[in-house]
Amino acid sequence: MGELHHECGVAAVFHAAGRGSSSLLPQLGQIDSAARLVPRMLLDMQNRGQLAAGMSSYRSDRNVIIRTHKEIGTVAEAFRLNHKSEFESIMGKLDGSIAIGHVRYATCGGNDRSDAQPFERDHPRKSKWFAFAFNGQLANYKALKQELMAKGDYHLKRDTDTEILMHALSYELQQEEDPSPDWVAIFGSLASKFDGAYNIVLVTARGELVIARDPLGIRPLCIAEHGPLLAAASESVPLANLGFKNIHSLEPGTLVVANARGVKVERFAPSPRQAHCFFEWIYFANVASTLDDRSVYLSRASLGQELARLEDVPRDDGDTIVVPVPDTAKAAADAMAFALQVPSVEGLMRNRYVGRTFIEGTADRAEKARLKYTPLREVLAGKRVLLVEDSIVRSTTMRALVREIRDRGGAREIHLRVACPPIIAPCYYGIDMSRRDELFAVPFIDGPGGAISPQAQAEMARQLGADSLRYLPVDAIARAVSLAPEQLCRACITGEYPTDVGQQLYQIENAGAAPAAAGRAYELVGSTPRIR
């Protein structure tokens, strides 16, 4: 779809000393080879960010106990995976028993190497020397920044919530006199200040790994153990591909601490409610992943079944076909076609070497869509096409696709079916959905709660160049994901946010109080109240 940008993915591994080897390690019996698993894990999460990649590792017998490597580009580019000697040179410096990794798309900050993660904070005391990687977004980071700067004698190199988080962690560690930090107290204190989504993997120069998930569980985080080996990742696929069997999601508001004394899972903050981002299931996550015990593939197939129940176009002439927009809409399209008893065919071929349109910048999305997809005239000519897409954000890509399918593909009719309700509000928790006034659906809202009538959808179809358009209703999402509505974050389709600052940001923007200059929505709000 190319108009919806994710934030990032995190990974972590820990191999306990003195507890033998794991068959999952690339070099049996070599405890310091655990770090070599990280680039492979990141490669399995490339879908979560292609702007930059990096890792930090711990090794006690190195002078540089924590060493960090990060570069702009894909995982293969950052770690030189296609150049064995260069990869070995990089990993020779990074081998260690503990490591964390990160793939990035920027929802906050710039696009140069210094903004890539992990971030490392040097300190002469080993308990205060750490590196960390972060998945999510702090909705109140502007207020946190103002509060930090008001203390005086602080300087920030970047305008990013990651640096704010680093300073917040540093401050909490400075309050700890014990060389063994109380991570429950530290993250409990942070939870009282932070508003938003934050999954954190952190390694210290004392040889500790900390893995934490925010109390709302907005972003997914999976963990697994195999003998002396502990690993974590933003999705289950990297863990499954390494051979882990008992993979499960870390509970919101809990953390894992792994060190020489063992592995402990502890609660650092209450989690009276959860707000899992539903977009993880319908678009972002690898289709083979399972997040919070819900299969991504089965959730997308359920969305297709929901679309089929609503379908009313003629299908008895043998000329109706279902065509998915590759690749994330395929499971929904196949399930829809099966329920309707019409063919699901690949009428659009994706050029996988072009790359995601959002990774390559925002200039001329329509041209990039034409480069990215090729319509097959042999499949489409003269057909009534049910074109299935996972979502529509700004509509630029979809307009180009509809035009290409009609002009180059020769389709007789194009009926656009969206396996998602209309996106009517920005995200402040780690997805770059841009400003509210850039969202395609917003001008067509004509009912309570952001509802869009069939008449308005007909006008939307006309503007897109399609013969008809249908979105899924909001209540279909919870059914497809098999979670109660109150366990999901559906702010982008309802305008109802799970945190106070998120709701305040939306009210400010909805009232037209944000500046008109281009930029991401939450960056346009200069100050937000502190959450206590």
φ, ψ for residue 422, nearest 5 deg: -60, 135
Number of Cβ within 10 Å of residue 375's Cβ equals 24
* Token digits of residue 33: 């080879």
Tokens of 401: 């696709």
CA 206 distance to own-chain centroid: 30
Helix (H), strand (E) counts: the chain: 17, 23
Q: In this structure, are residues 276 and 483 in contact, taking their beta carbons and an 8 Å threshold?
A: yes
Specify the DSSP element, H or E, that contains 419: none
CB burial of 294-323 (b: ≥16 within 10 Å; e: otherwise) equals: bbbbbbbbbbbbbbbeebebebeeeebbbb
Which tokens in the block code for residue 389? Answer: 């897409």
Q: What is the DSSP pairing of strand 468-471 with strand 413-418? A: parallel
Distance between start and end Cα atoms, the chain: 38
Residue 376 buriedness (CB in 10 A; 0-12 / 13-18 / 19+): middle
**Residues paired with 387 in a beta bridge:** 323, 416
Length of the chain: 532
Determine which one of 8, 427, 489, 492 is catalytic: 8
Residues whose CB falls within 8 Å of the CB of residue 515, separated by 6 or more in sequence, listed in order:
524
Cα atoms in the Cβ-side hemisphere of radius 13 Å centred on 357? 22
Question: How far apart are alpha carbons 29 and 398 in whole angstroms?
Answer: 52
CA dist 475 → 231, 312, 494 (Å):
35, 20, 11
Q: How far apart are CA 158 and CA 166, in angstroms?
A: 12
Nearest Cα to Cα of residue 358 among 104, 141, 158, 41: 104
Looking up tokens 């001329």, which residue turns up? 364
Q: Are strands 209-213 and 196-204 parallel, antiparallel or unpaired?
A: antiparallel
Q: What is the DSSP letter of 450?
A: G
Catalytic residue check, 427:
no
How many Å apart are CA 334 and CA 321, to the nearest integer? Answer: 11
Q: What is the dihedral of CA 373, 377, 380, 381, to 10 degrees?
A: 150
Cβ–Cβ under 8 Å, residues 435 and 492: no
Helices (H), 316-453: 330-340, 365-372, 377-380, 396-407
Q: Contact, 9 vs 225, CB < 8 A?
A: no
Whether residue 7 contacts residue 363, with contact meaning beta carbons closer than 8 Å, is answered with no
Catalytic residues: 8
